[in-house]
Amino acid sequence: MTMKGNFPIEKLKQIQTPFYYYDTALLRQTLEVVKKESEQYGYNVHYAVKANANAKLLKIIASYGLGADCVSGNEVQAAVDAGFAPSKIVFAGVGKTDWEINLALDNNIFCFNAESMPELEVINELAGAKGKKAKIELRINPNVDAHTHHYITTGLNENKFGFNLEDIDKVLNLMSTLKNLELIGVHFHIGSQITDFSSFQDLCVRVNELQDDFEAKNIKLKNINIGGGLGISYEHPNHFPIADFETYFRLFNKNLKLRDGQVLHCEPGRSVVAQCGSLITKVTYIKQGTSKKFAIVDAGMTDLIRPALYQAYHRIENITSNQQEDVYDVVGPICESSDVFQKEVNMNGTQRGDLIALRSAGAYGEIMASRYNLRNLPTGYLSEEL
Ligand SMILES: *Cc1c(COP(=O)(O)O)cnc(C)c1O
């Protein structure tokens, strides 16, 4: 086996572990693909900032002309600071507070993806106080199963996100009384790490039906936003370093019936940044158990919580050893039994001081780090600045 990622080992050895390492050449290649595949259909891409808000990465992503999808006031501010055009920023989230809405209004963002009737009323009031008209996409729950982990499916009914289909008439009635709002489209987001493309196909069918309903009510939608969710290969980051954007966009072009002048928007997060990032950690001890060996590393669930939170898999490579392979449970130092990155990992013979890479960690990694056990937050380093 042992195919490994490309790492500047000697440079990485100089850096205090644990840390995130971002291969910006791969990020740039990925962004080129996103641009090429989306632009041929005239689709607008908004990078989902919550996947990774490292300021230097945001600057690179913004430089490719993408928009930003934000879920908090601080994300809106970070996107503006990184150079994303406010006219390409969308703001979603079930619990937008007043200061966050005001910040977004002050920055004249593209639109609010609204998720409840009380939220619509509050945005209307705050926009009115500023003498502005706020643009709204209604986030609709299409009741499509994303066939992914239940913590990250969002498109089913009785989910806290979005409006349910049966409430749409009530919502439209309310909208017609709120004079400081302008309905510019509909928004969907069915889940994350979706690798079964039939879920996206189901979404297209729902959106087409919904469009017919809106037309029957004489309502024109300028924008259709299909959210994010495109999955990546956690198993084979070396073979599939770039997500299948080609198939993804082609699927929507083929299955979604856009009306004249309508613009399709999407919000990829994970698929843009996951593969360019690795968590680099040093082996502190090899501990011999009764029947297994533990590789105790200096990173833990505080640095990368996905394995503990979602039973997520990250490929693990010993990037400084070429010794014969052996089997290890790779665990962190945190005082929680769930602080296990992976059991029974095949990797090159491992010793104290070796560097280990947890691959595909660029999304929902650094940004979810915590200071539990009073640990330091990991720093992110870019390949192009080492
Ligand atoms: C999380 C999220 C995204 C990004 O999802 P990925 O699976 O990372 O592509 C996009 N839109 C919304 C509304 C989200 O909440």
| Model pLDDT for residues 347-385, shown as the tens digit of each residue | 999 999 999 999 999 999 999 999 999 999 999 999 999
| pTM of the complete model beyond 0.85 | yes
The three-class DSSP label of residue 273 is helix
Instruction: Determine whether the shortest distance from the Cβ of 229 to ligand 1 is under 6 A.
Output: yes
Mean pLDDT of 230-258: 98
Q: Rounded to an integer, what is the distance from CA 40 to the centroid of its chain?
A: 23
Q: Give the tens place of pLDDT for each residue, 207-228.
A: 999 999 999 999 999 999 999 9
| Range from 20-29, 38-47, 162-171 carrying the lowest mean pLDDT | 162-171
Q: Which residue ranges make up each domain of the chain?
A: 9-20+275-385, 25-273
- 265: β partners: 44, 225
User: Is there an atom of ligand 1 within 6 Å of 227 CB?
Assistant: yes
CA distances from 300 to 51, 114, 217, 334, 376 (A): 19, 36, 53, 6, 11
Pick 25-273's CATH classification: 1.10.10.10, 3.30.559.10, 3.20.20.10, 3.30.1490.20: 3.20.20.10
Residues 109-127 pLDDT 10s? 999 999 999 999 999 999 9
How confident is the model at residue 150, as a pLDDT?
59
pLDDT, mean over the chain: 95
What pLDDT does 147 receive?
67
List C-alpha distances in Å: 76 to 82, 127, 326.
Answer: 10, 17, 46
Q: Which two tokens stand for residue 201?
A: 């196909």
> Is the CB of 270 within 6 Å of ligand 1?
yes
CATH superfamily of 9-20+275-385: Lyase, Ornithine Decarboxylase; Chain A, domain 1 (2.40.37.10)
pLDDT of 149 higher than 70: no
pLDDT at 156 over 60: no
CA distances from 280 to 25, 52, 192, 207 (A): 18, 17, 25, 42
The secondary structure element, H or E, covering residue 250 is helix 245-255
Query: Distance, CA 307 to ligand 1 centroid (Å)?
Result: 19
pLDDT of res. 159 = 73
> How much distance in Å is there from the Cα of 369 to the middle of ligand 1?
18
Cα–ligand 1 centroid distance for 288 (angstroms)? 41
Q: Is 115 in the pocket of ligand 1 (CB under 6 A)?
A: no
Res. 143 pLDDT band, cuts 50 70 90: confident
